Structure 1
Amino acid sequence: MKLKSIRLRLLVLMICITTIPIITVTWIATNNTRDSVEEEIIKANNSRMEWADQYLNKLIEDIDGLFYSIHINQKLMDSISEVDNTDSRIQYEIYDYLRQTVNPIFYSNSTILKELTLYNHQSKKAFFVNYERTGTITDLNIEQDQSWNRLLKGPVNIYFERADQSKAVSVYHSINRFEDQELLGGISALINNDVWLELNKILKNGEEADLILMNDQQEILYNTENSNNPEVDKVLKDADLASANLEFLKSENYYFWLQGVDEGKLSLVKILPRRVVAYSIYPTIKAGIIIGIIFTIIALVFSVLISLRISRPILKLANTMSKTQIRDFEAKSVQSGGEIGILERDFNSLMKRIKTLIEEEYHREIELKKAQLKALQAQINPHFLNNTLQFIGGMALEKDIPEIYRITCVIADLLRYSISSRGNLVTLADELKHTENYIYIQEQRFSDRIQTNISAAESFDDLVIPRFTLQPIVENAFEYGLQPKVGAWNLEVHVKKVRSRIAIIVRDNGVGFTKSKLKEVRQKLKGNSWTKNDDKSSDSQVNDGGIGLKNVNNRLKLHFGNSYGIKIFSKKTRGSLIVLVLPGKKGD
């Protein structure tokens, strides 16, 4: 559904302008917060993995030092092979020596060791100490023990194996003869679980994080309960765990930190679900969303209020325009400012002008009806005068006075032409005939002073022009050009065809116009305004000679177009030349 109401469109626009930036800023801030928290978590865990690497390297270094101190004690290793001596005294001395030598070593490293075992390969005997026993000798067949049998494959400095106990890790060291690398024995230490708890503290593993510790053969030595996952297994399978460099990986649901320790003797892997980042930023996002919602609601309220404030004057104006009756219109007070106030003022002005024009047109129609009624009532007078003139002409013929008969006939023709009901358009030939009748009367009045010349190149029976086009021009020539002149008068009327147009030329040798008067008359001819005198008939002239010319000029332009009309030329005391330009044929 299209929003046609300006109020609805403005409301939607304001809501978009106010809410979209808030939503966009909230969304960007959320993403930036998530990225920032993720970056901080990655950096923090990188540091902790480096710390854990140092911790494990120190552990291996301490164990290696412990094993070396035992390794170089040849008497200690030889004593293990003599534990089966048949002499009970010697056997007791050997056992006591082992206890006094191994126990101090064990207890001095009790923070990292849970059990210490010395193995003699020749006798297949092992001596071990722990917190429960200060020294015990037992048989040990390393060929059947999976943890010990790597010693049979060759010299091994240190390697780690998972002990039988849950989450317990043992570390092994082989003792070989220098000359031929023959296996002489080995050392094993069960690492205290506190070591791995400390490692967890260093890495700050919570309930969500997982830790995996693997040996050089990628066998898991220590892991948390949640680390068994197909996605985790796939990443670990493809990763280079022996690398000494810290490596960070991402999967769909997890972050991985991988660190090789002491040239691959151990591999440390920390696994952190990606949802931890979401949990970390959840309070911030929640606060941002709440603030965004609050500001959005505020923006919506302000949008509604502003849109109503802006649209109310427009709707009020539209409602006024739709319900206003022109006859009952009264200007409303303008209370709005800006463009709306301008619209209201212009609407008031427009309605006033329309009301004024309607009233003027109404009064004009009334006046026209009155004039038509008066004309109808007065029609009897011209007919009566025409009949009277015919009666006078008849009497003149009876008395043998042809001049009077001729004059009465011409006057009757003039009167008949004026009251004819054939319409406002006549042929050029009829207009010329009417003008000749008018000039004939003037010749009879001023027979001793005036010389006239009327000529037409053709009959022009087909050219139709407005009635009273030429006669008012000739009348102006008599009234304002010739009568004020002392001496002989000369008046010429010529009709010529010039290319595709017809020119009617009226020339007199009257008093003419001054330059300023000529300019004024020409300006009136160019203007389009009409005065009340313009509506009068063409034979009712004012004393400046400009209105009759303008009347004829306007009617010619109205009928034929702006390319046609009157051109006037005049000089003071030299007379005037009036040219009426008409089309040569209909449509030109």
Structure 2
Amino acid sequence: MTRIIQFILDPFQRSIRNKLIVTMIGISCVPLIFISLLAAENTRRSVEAEVIESNSSKIEWTAGYLGERFEQMNNIIYTQLINESYNDYIRKMGDANPSIAFNAQKGFVNAVTSIFYSNVNYLSGIQIYLNDTNKQFLVSGSNIEVFTPPRIPEPFGDFFKKHVDFIIENKEHTGVFYLMRTINRFEDRKRLGGIALEINWSNLDNTLNLLTPGSEQTVIIANQQGEILYSLGGQPVSADQLIKLQNRMHSGSGYFRTEEEYVFYGNIPPWNLNVIKVIPSSFINDSARRTWQYAIIIGAVSILLSVLVAIIIAWKTSKPIVKLARAMQGMVPPKEDETPPVTRKDEIGLLEMRYYNMSKRIKEYIKTEYSMNLEKKTAQLKALQAQVNPHFLQNTLQLIGSMAFSKRPDEIYDVIRSLSDMFRYIIRDPEELTTLQQELDHVQNYLHIQKQRFTSRISTYIFLEPGVESCAIPKLTLQPIVENAFIHGLDKKTGAWEIHITVKHTAEGIFILIEDNGVGIPPERLLQLQHQLETQIEPFRAGNERIGLNNVAARIRMHFGSLYGLSIDSQPGKGTAIRLLLPKERSVTSD
């Protein structure tokens, strides 16, 4: 986990540009996201407050209006009970004269029919049952009947068992409900029978539509026993769910909220009914969601623009800083024709100008120092080249003198020719590169003279892989190394002397190995030499009469770069090995 966090944070720890871009994006985007969320939440609360206020007032008004409608229907019953024809029928229904009883019954039926047609907009039918005469009267739009049932007919049977004065009850599977009331004798409250008005629930739809039920909202009329009498709108409500809702209701009108819905209710006290409206929470959330969708679209566009502006500003602001940091990291001096790219007048522009001036002065200083050192080194090298080791020259002249008494003229001529070729080779321009073949020819001239001096002791071996003869090498690279082998390695060794030179191709370049079997180099001195070669200390030694290893290594690096150079290894009593690496892609033309 720590590595993952470090991997995520690393780009921001290393780059001020990344930090600035993220900061700018945060500054521009976070307020937009916060405002969008706040707007969506405020919209949801506004919609919620509007829904609660609107439906609370509507449910209260609807409950009152339904109460009035039920009261109007109840007045129809009272109109029937106080009708003179009803009282006349009650008095004469037991008369011995059938004609009198029939006329009273006919008058009663006409009165019921008249009341029905007067309220046909509300009523689907009227039923009256009288216990004493066991008569049932049915009046509807298509039928008028009077008959004697074999038993107490429905719906009066269940109604009389409940021992209540009035009730509202559904007529199953018909969309009709009964508004029933008992018929009692005024004097002793004896139950004489009952009257039931058949009413279509659809007659109340205009009233219930004021609550704007829809596919998602549901309006219910239920009794106190938890029975759903009528439902209008979308999702159905189960009996168990209705009981849970009614347990949270209080008297009068009000509302409460569950986890999934808003419930508004109103009581119709005389009739023990509740009108209930159920609105799912998703209805309000969907309204807020639509606002949230618009906010997302607008916010997304704003965020994209903000991100783009933030990136541009951060990029423009950090560009000179990043450029300056990269330039300082590499410390690359400006080019000769480069003008200061400074257009800013703030602190960053000042820093750019100061850095440019500093880099220019550093470049001029480096150029001056480099030119002075190069001239000094060139002069030293020319001075060294102009000199032939006095000891070597003296020994060679003595050799020629002694050969004049004991050798043939052609042998003497070979030594003189080798010495002459050496002089001609070393007095040429020291800055020129030569070929490996020419450099090895110079080495062979030197070795030819040394073999004449130490005929019985020295043996040499030179291997030049075909194809490398024209490769470039600085002049006086190999001969000084071979000369050092004689002076420091072989001169103090007893027995046979051996020098091997191997030149071949490798994957890195041209590899040259010069080995001798001399006395070797002491470990302390070897470490000192290796350190000087690695750190490039004192590449040219003033006052020295010979071209040393540091000089050879420095000239190789100066011509070919830091990838190439010289290394040394030695074992005391066994000899020394010098390894050189040169590029193989460079070559010069032989004279």
Query: What is the match of residue 207 of structure 1?
Result: 215
Which protein is bigger by CA-based radius of gyration? Answer: 1
Q: 1:290 aligns with which of 286, 297, 322?
A: 297
User: Deviation of residue 72 (structure 1)?
Assistant: 2.3
Specify the code of the residue in structure 1 equivalent to 2:229: L
Query: What is the match of residue 235 of structure 1?
Result: 244
Query: What is the match of residue 62 of structure 1?
Result: 72
Specify the code of the residue in structure 2 equivalent to 1:113: L
Residues 5 and 219 from structure 1, CA distance in 2 versus in 1: closer, same or farther, beyond 3 angstroms?
same
Query: What is the match of residue 308 of structure 1?
Result: 315
User: Deviation of residue 322 (structure 1)?
Assistant: 3.0
Query: What is the match of residue 59 of structure 2?
Result: 49
Comparing 282-291 and 324-333, the one that deviates more: 324-333
Comparing 288-297 and 86-95, the one that deviates more: 86-95
- Sequence identity percentage: 28
Query: What is the match of residue 344 of structure 2?
Result: 336
Q: Output the CA distance in 1 between the equivalents of 2:333 and 2:192.
A: 125
Residues 293 and 253 from structure 1, CA distance in 2 versus in 1: closer, same or farther, beyond 3 angstroms?
same
CA contact (8 A) 1:80 1:126 kept: no
User: Deviation of residue 196 (structure 1)?
Assistant: 2.7
Query: What is the match of residue 107 of structure 1?
Result: 117
Q: Output the CA distance in 1 between the equivalents of 2:105 and 2:186.
A: 27
Residues 141 and 270 from structure 1, CA distance in 2 versus in 1: closer, same or farther, beyond 3 angstroms?
farther
Q: Output the CA distance in 2 between the equivalents of 1:78 and 1:184.
A: 14
CA contact (8 A) 1:167 1:223 kept: no
User: Deviation of residue 139 (structure 1)?
Assistant: 3.4
CA displacement, residues 86-142 of structure 1 (integer Å, 9 cap, x when unaligned): 866445423431232112211222222111122212122121211112x21133577
Comparing 259-268 and 86-95, the one that deviates more: 86-95
User: Deviation of residue 49 (structure 1)?
Assistant: 0.7
User: Deviation of residue 192 (structure 1)?
Assistant: 2.6
Q: Output the CA distance in 2 between the equivalents of 1:90 and 1:342.
A: 127
Query: What is the match of residue 180 of structure 1?
Result: 188
Q: 1:259 aligns with which of 251, 263, 266?
A: 266
Residues 223 and 81 from structure 1, CA distance in 2 versus in 1: closer, same or farther, beyond 3 angstroms?
farther
Comparing 175-184 and 219-228, the one that deviates more: 219-228
Query: What is the match of residue 15 of structure 1?
Result: 25
User: Deviation of residue 251 (structure 1)?
Assistant: 1.7
Matches within 5 A, 1:101-500: 101-133=111-143, 135-139=144-148, 145=154, 148-151=157-160, 153-154=162-163, 156=165, 158-224=166-232, 226-229=235-238, 232-233=241-242, 235-236=244-245, 238-240=247-249, 243-263=250-270, 265-325=272-332, 332-351=340-359
Matches within 5 A, 1:543-562: none
Q: Output the CA distance in 2 between the equivalents of 1:307 and 1:231.
A: 63
Counterpart secondary structure, 2:344: coil
User: Deviation of residue 188 (structure 1)?
Assistant: 0.8
User: Deviation of residue 12 (structure 1)?
Assistant: 1.4
Specify the code of the residue in structure 2 equivalent to 1:123: T
With structure 1 as the length reference, what TM-score do the two structures score? Answer: 0.55
CA displacement, residues 242-288 of structure 1 (integer Å, 9 cap, x when unaligned): x4411212222221112110345211111122211233344322222
Query: What is the match of residue 468 of structure 1?
Result: none
Residues 178 and 97 from structure 1, CA distance in 2 versus in 1: closer, same or farther, beyond 3 angstroms?
closer
CA displacement, residues 479-518 of structure 1 (integer Å, 9 cap, x when unaligned): xxxxxxxxxxxxxxxxxxxxxxxxxxxxxxxxxxxxxxxx
Query: What is the match of residue 83 of structure 2?
Result: 73
CA contact (8 A) 1:80 1:120 kept: no
User: Deviation of residue 171 (structure 1)?
Assistant: 0.7
CA contact (8 A) 1:126 1:138 kept: yes
CA contact (8 A) 1:331 1:348 kept: no
Matches within 5 A, 1:490-529: none
Q: How large is the Cα RMSD of the aligned pairs? A: 3.4
> Is there any run of 5+ residues in structure 1 with no aligned partner, and where?
367-588
Counterpart secondary structure, 1:312: helix
CA displacement, residues 65-98 of structure 1 (integer Å, 9 cap, x when unaligned): 2222222236415526866978664454234312
Q: Output the CA distance in 1 between the equivalents of 2:191 and 2:118.
A: 28
Q: Output the CA distance in 2 between the equivalents of 1:163 and 1:41.
A: 34
Q: Output the CA distance in 1 between the equivalents of 2:242 and 2:161.
A: 31
User: Deviation of residue 222 (structure 1)?
Assistant: 1.3
CA displacement, residues 356-401 of structure 1 (integer Å, 9 cap, x when unaligned): 88899999999xxxxxxxxxxxxxxxxxxxxxxxxxxxxxxxxxxx
CA contact (8 A) 1:170 1:189 kept: yes
CA contact (8 A) 1:143 1:149 kept: no
Residues 107 and 280 from structure 1, CA distance in 2 versus in 1: closer, same or farther, beyond 3 angstroms?
farther
CA contact (8 A) 2:156 2:194 kept: no
Counterpart secondary structure, 2:195: strand
Residues 266 and 333 from structure 1, CA distance in 2 versus in 1: closer, same or farther, beyond 3 angstroms?
closer
Specify the code of the residue in structure 1 equivalent to 2:348: I
Q: Output the CA distance in 1 between the equivalents of 2:46 and 2:242.
A: 28
Counterpart secondary structure, 1:334: coil
Q: Output the CA distance in 2 between the equivalents of 1:86 and 1:319.
A: 128
Specify the code of the residue in structure 2 equivalent to 1:173: R
Residues 187 and 234 from structure 1, CA distance in 2 versus in 1: closer, same or farther, beyond 3 angstroms?
closer
Q: Output the CA distance in 1 between the equivalents of 2:252 and 2:55.
A: 14
CA contact (8 A) 2:220 2:230 kept: yes
> Is there any run of 5+ residues in structure 2 with no aligned partner, and where?
1-6, 375-591
Report which structure shows greater RCO (CA 8 Å, sep ≥6): 2
CA contact (8 A) 1:214 1:268 kept: yes
User: Deviation of residue 214 (structure 1)?
Assistant: 1.7
CA contact (8 A) 1:127 1:136 kept: yes
Residues 165 and 131 from structure 1, CA distance in 2 versus in 1: closer, same or farther, beyond 3 angstroms?
farther
With structure 2 as the length reference, what TM-score do the two structures score? Answer: 0.55
Q: Output the CA distance in 2 between the equivalents of 1:267 and 1:140.
A: 35
Residues 146 and 217 from structure 1, CA distance in 2 versus in 1: closer, same or farther, beyond 3 angstroms?
farther
Residues 77 and 206 from structure 1, CA distance in 2 versus in 1: closer, same or farther, beyond 3 angstroms?
farther
